[in-house]
Structure 1
Amino acid sequence: MKPSPGLAHCMMLPLLLGSSGSLVSAIGTLLSFSVVVGLYGLCMRALRPRLTETGRLLVSVLLATTLSSCADVLAQRWFLPWQQAFGLYAGLIALQCVVLEYNGFWRQTLTERGKLCALFGALLLLLGTLREVVGSGSLGRSPFESWQGIVLFSDGLPLISLVPGAFIVLALLLAARQALVRPKLNSKETHRP
């Protein structure tokens, strides 16, 4: 059975939508994701030639969960307020590592992998920024401190700060992308009944 390329992207969606409530949480998630996936790739590169298919699955799951758990424990130690909000999504990074392993991500060139990771990071940061600006009316406001950040307008749309609001913002971004990249229609197009 050939792995579906859409599966890896579907598995990234909960992490992308759930952890992009603010720019600070998006940056923390991106940092955690980058470290765990990078270390996972390095470790599996050394182990992959020595493993059978069944052993590769077991080692892949154990390694991904270990690295993700270590990142979560380190976040508890040094970034507790962020970790309390992000803790639900830490396990999704481990799941994503396993999905990427079986989706052929590591067989791609370094440039292709870099492009995919940069796209995910850019989308995560864009969603975090937009959700924070529209949801709270400011940028850089920290719920853990008294600093208010850069206030752009007094009241935001609180729905956008929640996960259903992330679907709305993502749908608007996809619609904007579709409008920009859609080929120009001919002016001689006829409308048929």
Structure 2
Amino acid sequence: MLRAFSMRHGRLPCPDTNATANGYESMTSGACTAGNQLGWFPYISLGLDIPPPLHRARYAVFRSAHADPLQDADLAVIKERTDDSPSEPDYLDVTDLVVGLNNASKLSLSTSHPYLTGDGGPSGAIDCGANPVMAAAYWLVIPLQDKDADNNRLDTPQTTSGLCAANPAAPLRVHSDDIVLAESPAQLAGWLRKSMP
């Protein structure tokens, strides 16, 4: 669904920052609101049914705007990054997102953007502070049950206010059953390049 959206729109979805998780992208004048990189998954904006409140997914998208479009890595906005003119067929299309993803993959790992920690195995400890592992073009965390009975919607290391998620390769644990979906900028760029007509 995220890949199809990115292919069609040349950007990743904007998070839903509505307190009640209403299922719509949080936009200002038709563009993703500045600074909005963390919120709820915008189900309705992607043409999906919105699940019950306890199962609504948390969502983060990589955003690093740059004044030079050729260096821009704000993945939630459509921006002409390949210097095409409005009359050209590739103007504001998925090729511009691929450039943004490539730009994001060249940036140093920063915990001020969405990132993944380890998997408790080959990529190390599941510890957001001590083991940031990889920048994420996006991550999606789907909560299932409150297995640790702490009355928190998400299981550690995920929080509703944090930009870190466990590596999707992390096994389900006794006190954690959140499902994590994520791709690095390079992974998504590779898929898009392969899938473009």
Q: TM-score, normalised by structure 1?
A: 0.27
The structure with more helix, counted as a fraction of residues: 1
The structure with more strand, counted as a fraction of residues: 2
Q: TM-score, normalised by structure 2?
A: 0.26
Instruction: Identify the structure with bigger relative contact order (alpha carbons < 8 Å, sequence gap 6+).
Output: 1
